[in-house]
């Protein structure tokens, strides 16, 4: 039985167990019963495992797996950290280390790739959205806290990290050895396109919403307008980092009124974020490009611009990661990192649950990890069907030239 089939079996089994053990706990029902009464089922299952399992079980591992499984079933970005792991987590927040450049979430009990940051060691190695990391430095990521996986990928500049990765249409995991480097994001780029219709089109791209980038986007808009741009394309593909507040600020560059987003949680009352007229910098027609690697603040901006009808959104559905997260310390020094509120689109869609679906779907070129060939190189470079052809951007140009009726 090959490794990929084994992985599928484990993932399916995990889903079934979670449904049986925890569905009643967190699912809403018409009953007014205390949900904690359903934990009796969990206790009974534990008792039967201890008494009847074919081997004497490691109950610590069983319990840890159950905790992580429960968290993942609720939130792919949640983590349970034991006391030692939590200390490492807090320490990692105090220092800036070299990294391989991956944005992560939990997937099927393992660690999944949201995006490989452009220009990072991971991106150069060909890692991409949808890859599943089976192990890091020979340590399985199954039931590994997401926050701890992120810590393991960090380290001193020039040191290496080994990963085993499950990829689309590969029966066996691939091995990667990446060298950690300080992450440096490329600056916001802008160019004027004059050969795609009668009116010049300004194209702006940012791959992060780190502090200062929204201001840079505003500066580029002004420069393009001075150069004669009459339409704009905002490229948010692979823009997966940056605070949600930056996404709100980005949307406000193009909006002079209306709701941009709001947050709400079980114990967090609704908080609206409205556009401020003085922060709007342009009225030019706008198209936003997104792909599966668009996440976080960039999704908030895309959702607001789409639903306000300020922009067409061309591309692929975004990843779905927009929430307020909080580390909650437990009595034994361990901690749970949970989403305590979600960001919603103006119409009330939870971005973390659904992502943002473009009103003009357009797939990117197939990447090399989609090739059904176990004999292909282990660290392939991304490739396009036609090198140099950007189908999403060309689709945006086509819409500008032919008009909305030709989408």
- Which residue's structure tokens are 């393992």? 110
Beta bridge partners of 289: 235, 314
- Rounded CA gap, 132 and 112, in Å? 4
Buried b (16+ CB within 10 A) or exposed e, 128-152: bbbbbbbbbeeeebbbbbbbbbbbb
Q: Is 55 found in the same domain as 89? A: no
In this predicted structure, what is the pLDDT of residue 137? 95
354: phi then psi, degrees, rounded to nearest 5:
-120, -15
Q: Is 97 found in the same domain as 70? A: no
In this predicted structure, what is the pLDDT of residue 33? 58
Length of the chain equals 407
Question: With contact defined as beta carbons under 8 Å apart, do 214 and 204 qualify?
Answer: no
Full DSSP string of 90-106: HHHHHS--BB--EEEEE
Secondary structure of the chain: what % helix, strand, coil (to 5)? Answer: 35, 25, 40
Boundary (domain end) residue, out of 14, 40, 74? 74
Q: Is 125 found in the same domain as 17? A: no
Asked if residue 329 belongs to a domain, the reply is no
Task: For residue 310, give the nearest of 288, 295, 294, 291 by alpha carbon.
Answer: 288
Asked if residue 327 belongs to a domain, the reply is no
Q: Is 114 found in the same domain as 47? A: no
Q: Is 121 found in the same domain as 19? A: no
Q: Is 195 found in the same domain as 122? A: no
Question: With contact defined as beta carbons under 8 Å apart, do 379 and 125 qualify?
Answer: yes
Question: With contact defined as beta carbons under 8 Å apart, do 132 and 174 qualify?
Answer: no
Q: Give the domain range for residue 257.
A: 189-322+340-406
Boundary (domain end) residue, out of 55, 74, 93? 74
Q: Is 169 found in the same domain as 313? A: no
CATH number at residue 143: 2.30.42.10
- Which residue's structure tokens are 């176990």? 374
Boundary (domain end) residue, out of 118, 153, 179? 179
- Rounded CA gap, 86 and 327, in Å? 9
In this predicted structure, what is the pLDDT of residue 11? 47
- Can you read off the two tokens belonging to residue 352? 């973390």
Per-residue pLDDT of the chain (407 residues; tens, 9 = 90+): 445 444 444 444 444 444 444 444 444 444 445 666 667 887 888 888 888 888 888 888 888 878 888 888 888 889 999 999 999 999 888 877 899 999 999 888 899 999 999 999 999 999 999 999 999 999 999 888 899 999 999 999 999 999 999 987 777 899 999 999 999 999 999 999 999 989 999 999 999 999 999 999 999 999 999 999 999 999 999 999 999 999 999 999 999 999 999 999 999 999 999 999 999 999 999 999 999 999 999 999 999 999 999 999 999 999 999 999 999 999 999 999 999 999 999 999 999 999 999 999 999 865 444 434 444 444 334 333 345 689 999 999 999 988 655 44
**Strands 259-264, 189-193: parallel, antiparallel or unpaired by DSSP?**
unpaired
Q: Is 102 found in the same domain as 32? A: no
Neighbouring residues of 268: CB distance < 8 A, sequence distance ≥ 6? 324, 340, 341
Q: Is 209 found in the same domain as 107? A: no
Question: With contact defined as beta carbons under 8 Å apart, do 188 and 126 qualify?
Answer: no
295: phi then psi, degrees, rounded to nearest 5:
-150, 160
- Can you read off the two tokens belonging to residue 166? 């499950």
- CA 175-14-90 angle, to 5 degrees, is 65
Q: Is 174 found in the same domain as 295? A: no
pTM equals 0.82
Asked if residue 295 belongs to a domain, the reply is yes
Q: What's the number of CA atoms in the CB half-sphere (13 Å) around residue 15?
A: 7
- Rounded CA gap, 287 and 396, in Å? 7
Q: How many domains does the chain have?
A: 3
- Rounded CA gap, 121 and 118, in Å? 9
Asked if residue 331 belongs to a domain, the reply is no
Q: Is 199 found in the same domain as 175? A: no
Q: Is 31 found in the same domain as 46? A: yes
For the chain, the maximum distance between any two Cα atoms, rounded to a whole number of angstroms, is 77
- Can you read off the two tokens belonging to residue 396? 């945006």
- Rounded CA gap, 122 and 382, in Å? 11
């Amino acid at each position: 039985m090959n490794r990929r089939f084994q992985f599928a079996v484990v993932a399916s089994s995990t889903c079934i167990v979670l449904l049986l053990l925890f569905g009643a706990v967190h699912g809403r029902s018409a009953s007014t019963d205390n949900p904690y009464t359903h934990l009796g089922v969990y206790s009974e299952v534990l008792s039967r495992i201890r008494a009847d399992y074919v081997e004497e079980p490691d109950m610590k591992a069983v319990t840890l797996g159950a905790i992580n499984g429960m968290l993942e079933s609720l939130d792919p970005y949640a983590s349970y950290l034991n006391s030692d792991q939590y200390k490492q987590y807090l320490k990692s927040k105090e220092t800036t280390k070299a990294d391989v450049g991956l944005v992560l979430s939990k997937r099927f009990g393992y660690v999944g790739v949201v995006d490989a940051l452009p220009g990072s060691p991971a991106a150069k190695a060909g890692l991409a959205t949808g890859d599943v990391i089976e192990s890091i430095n020979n340590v399985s990521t199954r039931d590994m806290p997401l926050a701890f996986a992120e810590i393991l990928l960090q380290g001193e500049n020039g040191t290496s990290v080994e990963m085993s990765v499950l990829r689309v249409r590969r029966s066996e995991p691939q091995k990667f050895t990446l060298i950690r480097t300080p992450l440096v994001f490329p600056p916001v780029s802008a160019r004027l396109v004059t050969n795609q219709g009668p009116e010049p089109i300004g194209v702006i791209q940012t791959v992060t919403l780190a502090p200062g980038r929204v201001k840079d986007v505003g500066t580029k808009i002004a420069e393009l307008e001075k150069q004669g741009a009459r339409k704009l394309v905002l490229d948010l593909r692979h823009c997966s980092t940056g605070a949600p507040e930056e996404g709100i600020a980005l949307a406000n560059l193009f909006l002079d009124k209306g709701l941009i987003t709001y947050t709400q949680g079980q114990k967090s009352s609704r908080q609206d974020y409205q556009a401020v007229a003085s922060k709007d910098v342009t009225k030019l027609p706008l198209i936003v490009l997104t792909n599966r690697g668009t996440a976080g603040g960039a999704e908030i901006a895309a959702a607001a611009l789409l639903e306000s009808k300020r922009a067409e959104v061309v591309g692929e559905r975004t990843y779905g990661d927009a929430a307020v997260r909080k580390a909650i310390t437990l009595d034994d020094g361990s901690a749970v990192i949970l989403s305590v509120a979600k960001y919603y689109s103006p119409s009330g869609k939870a971005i973390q649950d659904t992502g943002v679906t473009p009103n003009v779907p357009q797939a990117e070129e197939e990447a090399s990890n989609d090739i059904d060939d176990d004999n292909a190189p282990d660290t392939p470079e991304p490739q396009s069907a036609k090198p140099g052809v950007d189908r999403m951007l060309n689709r945006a140009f086509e819409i500008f030239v032919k008009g909305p009726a030709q989408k």
